[in-house]
Structure 1
């Protein structure tokens, strides 16, 4: 499986998310500043609520911009068994029921599912609980988080 292709898919998805966040921030800003939404009394809070929403959407857009920058600078490296799982690893875990799950460990802004060929790949951050738990592990090692336990089936 091509890690650079997965990285490109992540960047495309983040670009789509950024477009949506920017549009939502603009729409909320327009609502907040529209003349019909000027408060007439202390209970008239539509403009204030829209302003809070616009601020939140702007923060979300900025977080996505930062994630895009991190993913653009990111260079997935080949797996090195002496270092164990590191940022950029493509990992297959199996749970207690022998259900496999493929994960691509990337910088922040992950948490999305991608399709590569016929395979489904979950992108997670190394800051996520499962991502942190996988760091340094090798094939055959167990990875545990409070709710679940996995075995590392293979790493690329």
Structure 2
């Protein structure tokens, strides 16, 4: 007995459809970055001043070495208060997330949205040839959806 498939032939995506929208089309490239030796107090001031929730940590070669977030700073505040330690000498490298998940700039934006949902992350750095080239945030995906009108995704 032959098995019949009722699934129709899928058309290849055409240029300009949602299938063709890449992370690199919507990622931020003018980034606020931090250095491992920077103080956590400086990071907190920058986060507040620039109204951002975190950012990548890079070395002198612009290689991604971590991410620091508001949550990382909050943990430090709590720890410093509990142990009665001043925060002036606390360095980013001691409190940043060192295992950083990145995504490819060529990834489809809607696949990236799924990755945001499954990972519960707020931002993903984009690295190319070992160097930080951009960052995509949940807000960037929302902006893209508004631009695309959310109805036809074209």
Q: Answer whether TM exceeds 0.5 for this pair.
A: no
The structure, 1 or 2, with the larger RCO (C-alpha pairs under 8 Å, 6+ apart) is 2
| TM-score (normalised: structure 2) | 0.30
More strand by share: 1
TM-score normalised by structure 1 residue count: 0.29
